[in-house]
Amino acid sequence: MEETLLFKVTRDADSAVDEDRDDDFIEAIQEILSARLSSFPVRMICTGNSPTILSYLKTGMDLTEAEIYQVPPPIDFSTLNELVNSEGLDRLRYPVWEHYWPVDFPSDTPLWDTLDCTDLLLHVPYQKYDPVIRFINDAADDPSVLAIKITLYRTSGDSPIIRTLERAARSGKHVTVFVELKARFDEERNISWAYRLEKAGVIVVYGIAKIKVHAKLLLVVRRKAGGISRYVYLSTGNFNDKTARLYVDMSLFTTNEDITNDATLFSI
């Protein structure tokens, strides 16, 4: 009698990096990533119509009954993404949400003058994420901007923010990026971003031992007629232009002295 079984295995990903290896911390992270490929199984999702195959897999992977979840197919809905995005199926989709430009934000000028007078609040995805991208672009291109300091926990695969930070560094600005290498399942991407930013002349900080930094913070230091001004962007969401179209997050643009002082101490 022939049997078939669809199954998906989840491996243990809870290995802790040795954070005392200061000299080769990136190598320690890479060892963890490599170890995940062969770590022990902790869960199997499968269809439930093949007892012989199921018994064989259960024994071979040393799984208990509590670690096996029998479900009707499909067991991996991510395989439907390509179908969902196929052309010619617009009639089956919800109307595309229109992300509105926030009315308090100037549409055609940098935010400096506005922020000198008032704070600004951004609410995505209902409002466009574009002001964040433009704010960083303005900081990179403005000759009066002396320094840009930012934390990166997760960002998109083809991040316009990374490209802008590279441009700012190459133009002679002091750019510092705190890259959290311990961002779960984004470690490899963040290592790649860190190497790329360093090649562009960015000062990269590779995290803090025994602490995972989730802060979403941007500090811009700018010269003006009256002296030096500091502009801060704080958010509940990552610097990710893709997820900002879906996830609900609040962001604050401010020159509040208490906040800019804290941001400065944080970024030193």
Active site residues: 214
Stated as kind and residue range, the H or E segment containing 262 is helix 257-267
Amino acid at 199: K
Residues paired with residue 44 on neighbouring β-strands, in sequence order: 9, 68
Question: 242 near 156, Cβ under 8 Å?
Answer: yes
DSSP 106-150: -SSS-SHHHHHH--EEEEETTB-SHHHHHHHHHHHH-TTEEEEEE
Structure tokens at 74: 């499909």
User: How many CB atoms sit inside 10 A of residue 162's CB?
Assistant: 20
**How far from 227 is each of 108, 171, 254, 258, CA to CA, in Å?**
25, 22, 17, 18
Residue 181 phi, psi dihedral angles, 5° rounding:
-70, -15
Structure tokens at 182: 């311990």
